[in-house]
Amino acid sequence: MSPARRALLAGLLSVSGLSGCLSTETGSEANERPTQSTNTVGQDDDPTVLQIRSTDDEPILSETTEESISAVRNELVTNRDRLDELSVATGVSDEDREAIQTFLDKTEYATESIFITHSRITSCNRFQIRSVSWDGTDIEYRYCRELRPPEASCVTDSWETVGLLFRIPATLPSSASLGGRGGHSPCQRSSTTYHRIDANATVVGNTTAVETPDTRSNSSGDVS
Amino acid sequence: MSRRLTRRQALAAVGGVAVAGCITRAPQFWENPPSFDTAGLDAILDEPVPDRPQLASISFESAVAAQFVDRVERLLAPIPNPLPESRLPNSAIRSQITTERRAAREQLPTRYDDHPPFELAERFAEARGHAATAVGTWAAVTTEGEPTAVTDGAGTVRSRVDQLGDTLPGRASDPVAGTAVYGSIERWLDVAERRTLFSSTSISAQEDPLRTGRTVGEIERIQSQIEAGGYLQAQYLETIEEPQTIDRPLRAGIDTLGRDIEEWIQELHDEKEDRLFRYPGIEAFFDRQPVAENAPSLKLLSRALRRTYEDIRFDPVAVEDYEPTHPATTLCRTMLTLVQLSACDELGGLIEDGENLFPEDGATVDSARGEAIGSVVGLAEATNPLQRWLATQILPLFDEPETILSAESPTTREITRAYTEYRWISLVASESESVVSTASEALSS
């Protein structure tokens, strides 16, 4: 897709998304399924994932038909046509709504699939997705949980729903679904910088209240 | 060794026959419990729980206590007060800082002479631990903060633990008094080594600030215990006119109590040595069970035995050639384990006699509480320091029932639980005297 066309579509997205469905394209190009063989087994250790938080405990996407609107909790989106039937839930902020639309729009459905799932997490934590793998019709992902940065506004012990949108670099059969997930908490490694509040925390004076044998003999303090 | 257990061995074969083939479901106590009359519960907590006794004639000088308080205040000083959401939006981080700051201040006593020195030392350690957790967390989220500068590193503190440990047990007026004093100080080191100061323990500024703060707090708490331990040791030594070493008597005491413990455990497991550390099940303590399944007495025995076996597995208890790093605390913990096993045996006897430990009314609970308090007062006022030491270990057992009974409207089950805990306190206290006597004789031989 050319940049100009993408820019034009982005404008359309914001309008159509707000009004309901997520479809951004019409015509044969969007409907085409890849003709090359599908890569049904693989793993991505640095997956492209969009995470959207929802405080109202509802999935971030819903499916609209003539008869009803139903929540979409787990789904593999394999073609752009499907976006016609999906819409962003009302509880999602405008900023996140735009992020979802952009994410879906930037997906090349000829070679990629979008896997949508949801998970629960406390308000002050977030997921780090470590990998996603797919094997036939099973999709699995691995994660860890870590504390959000100091400036993230959150409420202790409050739970939220997180919508996870994985961009999988493979065209998977539409029957593929969540086969499992595994993780641990807290993350062993984190790239998050937590030193962000502009202040100091210097404790004045000695590190002890009274002398200990080693501080008596070595008044310079730390011996390690 | 208990008289009851020996009798049970003789009855074991009969018991085995009695249960063979029995597959009908036994009646469950709480399916049809007796009625409970709440009369007598109104003023049940009026009589206070006894204060913690003195272990030796030493005290925390006011000037020294003030230095510990000053350290707490210095630790808390850099944290903005109040700390509003606008300054630190992440509520988990903000909550840890403010909660720990509050907890630190709550631990600080208003009057130093209201508390015996070991209790004061523990309060200072808790206060410094909480305060350091608060400022360590704050340091981890501030641009100029440095968590590693809040307290000394784990390596430094570990070497101080070793240094203090090398001086313990020190000289004492006599082995019994020395065991009570040094057992308490060694216990701080023992717990620090086993639960906190691992080779991997370190303060890392790269970590989750909540974890960083907690690590800073744990190290500061141990540092406080080292300082207080060294100070109290020096205070104690100043009170002694003719100090004597207690290493050899301690060894004899540990050997004696260790043999008693092994006899107990072997008998509970029918002499099967490879099962020494395995939980034996409460059935080992009674031959017949004339009370309904899940009766409060059975549940109490189950809780007590599990707690005792946790101690046997994880605490420094002299079982199976255990070589103590901290002999005074090993003797104390082994003694406590023996007391608990004896109390379990007594409870088994009550069960055999058909005692379900369900209180008929509030007055029965009140009476059990009064008896528990009386039994602990007896220990706390004893001349033998090891009895007073046991009182310090039993007093925290009041926490759970007191919390239950101070609630607005506890359920009958909860009240029953409180009642059984009071009965347990009395049982443990009543078994203390003979075990302390054995320990004291071994220490003095």
High-pLDDT (> 70) share of chain A, %: 77
Mutate to test the interface with A, among B151, B152, B161 (most CBs of A within 10 A): B152
CB B226 within 8 A of CB B138: no
DSSP state of A154: B
Q: How many residues are listed for chain A in this entry?
A: 224
Q: Is B385 left (phi over 0), alpha (psi -120 to 50) or beta?
A: alpha
pLDDT at A5 over 50: no
- Tallying the residues shown for chain B, one arrives at 445
Of A173-182, B55-64, B69-78, least confident by mean pLDDT is: A173-182
Least confident of A90-99, B159-168, B219-228: A90-99
Contacts of residue A125 in chain B, CB cutoff 8 Å? 92
B87 interface with A at CB cutoff 8 Å: yes
Kindly state whether A155 is in contact with chain B, defined as any CB-CB distance less than 8 angstroms.
yes
The complex's ipTM works out to 0.82
pLDDT in tens, A41-83: 899 999 999 999 987 788 999 998 888 888 899 999 999 988 8
- State yes or no: pLDDT of A221 exceeds 50: no
Cβ atoms < 10 Å from Cβ of A92: 22
| Residue B424 binned pLDDT confidence (cut-offs 50, 70, 90) | very high
Which of A32-46, A90-104, B176-190, B404-418 is the least confident region? A32-46
Å from B350 to nearest chain A CA?
45
Round to whole Å and give the CA distance between B192 and B325. 13
Q: Is B149 in Cβ contact with A203 (below 8 Å)?
A: yes
pLDDT(A15) > 50: no
CA angle B286, B287, B291 (to 5 degrees): 70
Bigger pLDDT: B373 vs A180: B373
Task: Tell whether B281 is within 8 A of chain A (Cβ).
Answer: no
Residues B96 and B22: their CA atoms lie apart, in Å, by 55
pLDDT at B20: 47
Residues A26-36: tens digit of each pLDDT: 333 333 434 33
Q: Does B208 touch chain A (CB under 8 A)?
A: yes
* Among candidate residues B252, B223, B206, B292, the one with its CA nearest the CA of residue B25: B292
Report whether pLDDT(B46) > 70.
yes
pLDDT in tens, B122-175: 999 999 999 999 999 999 999 999 999 999 999 999 999 999 999 999 999 999
What Rg value do the Cα atoms of chain B yield, rounded? 24
> Considering CB atoms only, which of B87, B90, B150 is closest to A149?
B90
Q: Report chain B residues whose CB lies below 8 A from the CB of A202.
A: 78, 144-146, 149
Q: What's the pLDDT score for residue A213?
A: 60
Alpha carbon of B306: minimum distance to chain A alpha carbons (Å): 29
**Mean pLDDT of all residues in chain B?**
92
pLDDT score for A222: 34
Q: Quick one: CA torsion of B325, B328, B331, B334, rounded to 10 degrees?
A: -70
Burial pattern B158-177, b for ≥16 Cβ within 10 A else e, equals bbbbeebbeebbbbbbbbbb
Report pLDDT for A214: 64
Total beta-carbon pairs less than 8 A apart between chain A and chain B:
147
B199 interface with A at CB cutoff 8 Å: no
Tens-digit pLDDT profile for residues B257-312? 999 998 988 888 876 666 667 888 999 999 999 999 999 999 999 999 999 999 99
The tokens of A19 are what?
Answer: 């009004």
B143–A203 CB contact, under 8 Å: no
Do residues B132 and B103 make contact, with C-beta atoms less than 8 angstroms apart?
A: no
**B230 close to A (CB below 8 A):** yes
Name chain A contacts of B85, Cβ cutoff 8 Å.
153
Given this model, what pLDDT does residue A64 score?
Answer: 81
Closest CB from B68, B90, B230 relative to A212: B230
Question: Tell me: the pLDDT tens digits for B336-353?
Answer: 999 999 999 999 999 999
Average pLDDT of the residues in B27-43? 93
B397 pLDDT above the threshold of 80: yes
Res. B321 pLDDT band, cuts 50 70 90: confident
Cβ within 8 Å of A, B 47-86: 64, 67-68, 70-71, 74-75, 77-80, 85
Q: What is the SS3 assignment for B163-207?
A: HHHHCCCCCECCHHHHHHHHHHHHHHHHHHHHHCCCCCCCCCCCC
Whether residue A169 is predicted with pLDDT greater than 60 in this model: the reply is yes
State pLDDT tens for residues B160-202.
999 999 999 999 999 999 999 999 999 999 999 998 888 778 8
Please, what's the b/e burial string for A76-85 (b: 16 or more CB within 10 A of its CB; e: otherwise)?
A: bbbbbebbbe
Residues of A in contact with B205 (CB under 8 A): 195
Nearest by CB: B159 against A148, A207, A223: A223
Choose the weakest-confidence range: A35-44, B216-225, B429-438.
Answer: A35-44
Chain A CB contacts of B77 under 8 Å are: 203-204
Which residue in B has a C-alpha nearest to residue A221's C-alpha? B152
Residue B209 DSSP class: H
Return the pLDDT at A90: 84
Which of the residues B208, B222, B225 would you substitute to probe the A interface, choosing the one with the greatest number of A C-beta atoms within 10 Å?
B208
